[in-house]
Chain A
Amino acid sequence: MTTATEIAEAQLKMPLQRGPNVERRLLQRTFKPLFGTPVNAAVTLVCLWVLWLGVKGAYGWLVTRAVTEGGAQACKVGQGACWPFYEAKLRFMIFGVYPYDEHWRVLLAMTLFLGAIGITMVPRFWNRKLLVLWGITIAATAVLIGGGIFGLRYVPTTQWSGLPLSFLLSAVGLALGFPLGVLLALARSSKLPAIRVIAIVFIEVIRGVPLISILFMASVMLPLFMPSGVTVDKLLRAQIAIIIFAAAYIAEAVRGGLQAIPRGQHEASSAMGLHYWQSMRLVVLPQALKIAIPPLVNISIGFFQDTTLVTIIGLLDFLSTVRTAMQDPAWVGIAVMEGYVFAAAVFLFFSYGMGAYSRFLERRMRLGHD
């Protein structure tokens, strides 16, 4: 007895026949969207031209016209990328004014840190052990960069600079901003009016002004608010500003997650006898935070880029060390493109990576298995 399903199964098992039409169809499938109509053909040609110009320009600058040897003088004459600039300045651009002989410490710390981030990004490892891992990583990083114990030379914060400083400012800002942000989000959705108003005012004021004004406040005003005789480290001041700023944005992302949790979840957990903090910690927040992960990753990308603003209040972050390298009297006016292209490539690499990760997370959540 041949049923319809059997026929279908038999058809599925049959090898795909490459009929005479297959090539033509394939051709059509690539041809039609590109040259299907006259307008489309024109668009395609213009795009090809733009791409060609871009590729030709980039290749010419990076390879054919590049200056590979000689010093600043050779680059001044040459028209392309100046590789000697990178040779001379790469370590300064990355590590800044951190003592030259101790660069290995920062490199090790950064490797540890990026490794920990890599592990954190794998959803399978999302459990309590991660907290231990981060505890160890932070302690090790602090010891390695700051020194002062275990025979490591003490390095003051004024010498912390370059790419590690950018990582530090954004990572610590987000790590400490996160709990503060969650608290603010809970306060904003609280039933108690005074607490809700305090949270709303805090969040909206911070989100309504530019980051640069908060950084100014931290660098100019904070010393005035301290009691006489107490001084706060410049780096710490910028860090506090970034934490506060991050907290307000994180609070809004978390609030979005909290709003997505149906009331039934709150009611069910109080029916089970859980008090407010228990029901938040055990029932509501785990679900809300999961929803808030994609916007939180996007906030992280933004903050990694926003740490460049500390340049304006005079901290030596990555963008700042790159600019300092470019303004070295030997190289000034010669390696403008080189410096900015390098900095842009580094930012592009990390931000695009995080963005791709956020898209992966979103896809994973839509599929709904955890």
Chain B
Amino acid sequence: MRVDALSGTRLLYNLRFRAILYQVLAVGSIVVLGLYLFSNVSQKLAEQNIATGFAYLSREAGFVISQTLIDYKPTDTYGRAILAGIVNTIWVSAWSVVIATILGLIVGIARLSRNPLLAFLAFLYVEALRNVPLLLYLFLWYALIVTGLPAVREAWEVLPHVFLSNSGLTVPSLLWTSAHTIILVALVLGGALAVALRRRATAERIRTGGERTIWPLIALVLLTPPILAILIMQPDFTISVPEKGRFRLTGGAQLTPEFTALLVGLALSASAGIAEIVRSGILSVRKGQWEAARALGLRDGSTMRLVVLPQALRVIIPPLTSSYLSLFKNSSLAIAIGYPDLVMVSNTTMNQTGQAIEGIAIFMLVYLGLSITISIFMNWYNSRVALKER
């Protein structure tokens, strides 16, 4: 009798019942909130007479995108415009990642230099870039390029055949054809074969203990496909080099001020972060490791490659991933200086069609998808270099 009266309260004290109750409450409140918001949205959209759905993607866009990698003209569809924006975002992020990694590596090592002056300069570089917002730098670089640099006629030659002027950066370029793409694919194929071969050789070495010279074989496997491809396709390898004419630059590829400012801004600010990551990675390998490797009779190069780098990479990879990811996300600041990236194209689309929800949904999904792809790849790489503990 008493037990029955208490059973209701008992149930409340049952841990399993509680766990289910909490979860049902959490999911339930989210569903209710979602339904409430959805009903608000549909009512608002009906009131304001805004169309819904993604049908607009196949309508004609009708706006100009100042620079695209893929063919795009105003008569193309909104979908194609957004695709052009996505390609632009990836293009600028990819180049920035490359430049930022190289710069970051150099500055990170310079930070650890025994030469105090060099270490100090590297310190100044890092702090000046880390403590000022990226957006400010983007505005500054853009303003400096447009107002501070000389006109094309008096362009600066910053590197041989690389010109900087108020209409951006002019660099030597290769006229890319499908033949080049095939050669690139062949090179990747050769690389994959070489990696597979090396793995087998390593496994065999571990099994038998015998050392064999395998690099000629690897070189052969690596280089045969691209060389064959070159021989078959006979592509045009002339590089178009910009030359300074009387009034303008001829040849080469012209990078707009917007692209240049964004590239410089993203690469510099990310390089400061990467420098700090590289520095802490190298510092994390104890001196004893160097000494032990030397005591085992390894040469300096082998010590770095076999002992220090694998351990430093373990510390470097996870934060490096997040700095690549934040570079990629920061490329969305392009809209502030007018580089037509995904966000800017979506923004124009939203203004023209009024379909804000779809527009934002598309670019958030694209960013999310690419972020997840990058982090899955880097996690895979990380799990390969991570400490294998038994």
> Could you list which residues of chain A lie within 8 angstroms of chain B, going by C-beta atoms?
33-34, 40, 43-44, 47-48, 50-51, 191-195, 198, 204-205, 207-213, 216-217, 220-221, 223-228, 301, 305-306, 308-309, 311-312, 319, 323, 333, 336, 340, 343-344, 347-348, 351-352, 355
Contacts and interface: CB of A to CB of B under 8 A. Distances in A.
B203 interface: no
B117 A48 contact: yes
Interface string B1-31: 0000000000000000001001110110010
A312 B136 contact: no
A309 B135 contact: yes
A51 B330 contact: no
Nearest to B124: A54
Given A194-B26, A308-B135, A205 B40 contact: no
B134 interface: yes
A213 B363 contact: yes
A319 B148 CA distance: 20
B26 A198 contact: yes
Contact of A351 (B24, B130, B135): B130
Interface in B123-158: 127-128, 130-136, 139-140, 143-144, 147-148
Contacts of B135: 308-309, 311-312, 319
B131 A212 contact: no
B30 A198 contact: yes
Given A50-B121, A224-B357, A228-B43, A348 B147 contact: no
A355 B131 contact: yes
Pairs of residues from A and B, 7 with the lowest C-beta to C-beta distance, nearest first: A351-B131, A194-B23, A305-B133, A210-B329, A210-B332, A208-B371, A47-B117
Contact of A51 (B121, B148, B371): B121
Contacts of B356: 220-221, 224
Given A34-B116, A340-B143, 17 more contacts: A43-B118, A47-B115, A191-B19, A198-B27, A205-B364, A207-B371, A208-B372, A212-B343, A216-B360, A221-B356, A221-B360, A305-B132, A340-B139, A347-B132, A348-B128, A352-B127, A355-B130
B23 A225 contact: no
Interface string B34-52: 0001001101110100000
A191 B336 CA distance: 43
Contacts of B120: 47
A47 B363 CA distance: 45
A213 B44 CA distance: 22
- By size class, the interface of chain B is 35 or more
Contacts of A43: 113, 115, 117-118
B147 to A, nearest CB: 6
A34 B360 contact: no
Contacts of A220: 350, 356, 360
Nearest to B269: A305
B22 A225 contact: no
B257 to A, nearest CB: 14
Nearest to A307: B133
Interface in B303-318: none
Contacts of A226: 40
A279 to B, nearest CB: 15
Contacts of B329: 209-211
B229 interface: no
B367 interface: yes
A228 B47 contact: yes
A194 to B, nearest CB: 4
B368 A209 contact: yes
Contacts of B179: none
Task: From B116, B131, B135, name the one whose CB has the most chain A CB atoms within 10 angstroms.
Answer: B131
Contacts of B332: 210, 212-213
A36 to B, nearest CB: 8
B367 A210 contact: yes
A205 B363 CA distance: 13
Nearest to B335: A312
A212 B357 contact: no
A351 B133 CA distance: 10
A210 B114 CA distance: 39
A209 B131 contact: no
B333 interface: yes
Nearest to B23: A194
A309 B347 CA distance: 15
A301 B332 CA distance: 20
20 contacts: A40-B114, A47-B120, A51-B117, A51-B121, A192-B19, A192-B22, A195-B23, A208-B368, A209-B364, A209-B371, A210-B343, A212-B335, A213-B343, A221-B356, A227-B40, A228-B40, A319-B136, A340-B136, A348-B128, A348-B131
